[in-house]
Amino acid sequence: MKNQKKAVPVMGALHAWMIAQRDLVHDGSAISKALDYSLKRWTALSRYLDDGALSVDNNWAKNQIRPWALGRKNWLLAGSLRSGKRAAAIMSLILSARLNGRLPTQRASDIAQLLPHRWQPV
């Protein structure tokens, strides 16, 4: 809430500045395209100001998927469809366990507890 109070006037000033700058640049330039892109999405960009539960960025989500996205091309060479499906299942299991705080503390002998059909609703 405290950060929102500080951010509202800053975002308002940024919005006004962007509109003023857009009038000064030539259509089709890289700057005009960047300003148009941001102004077109202004409602979504500033949504966090209305809801304190929303984060100003999506860094957490991006950091969670980065390892998987970086390895994506390597996993295309799994050898066969069957191997690819196994790799996908293992990666899903590992990431789900990590997100639920079960790694690195989960013992290998208790891996069955991590299977989706054993998950308990929160």
**pLDDT digit string (tens) for 51-74?**
888 888 888 888 888 877 777 766
- Whether residues 45 and 63 fall in one domain: no
pTM: 0.54
Q: What is the residue range of 85's domain?
A: 59-118
Structure tokens at 88: 């996908």
**Burial of 106 (C-beta count, 10 Å sphere; 0-12/13-18/19+):** middle
For the cut 70, the answer to whether the pLDDT of residue 31 exceeds it is yes
Spatial contact of 109 and 100, defined as CB atoms under 8 Å apart: no
**Which residue is associated with the tokens 């060479």?**
77
Does residue 69 belong to any structural domain of this protein? yes
What do you get for the CA distance between the two ends of the chain, in Å? 27
Is residue 54 included in any domain, yes or no? no
Tally of domains within the chain: 2
Asked if 106 and 114 touch (Cβ cutoff 8 Å), the reply is yes
114 and 68 assigned to the same domain: yes
- Give the range with max mean pLDDT: 36-50, 71-85, 86-100: 36-50
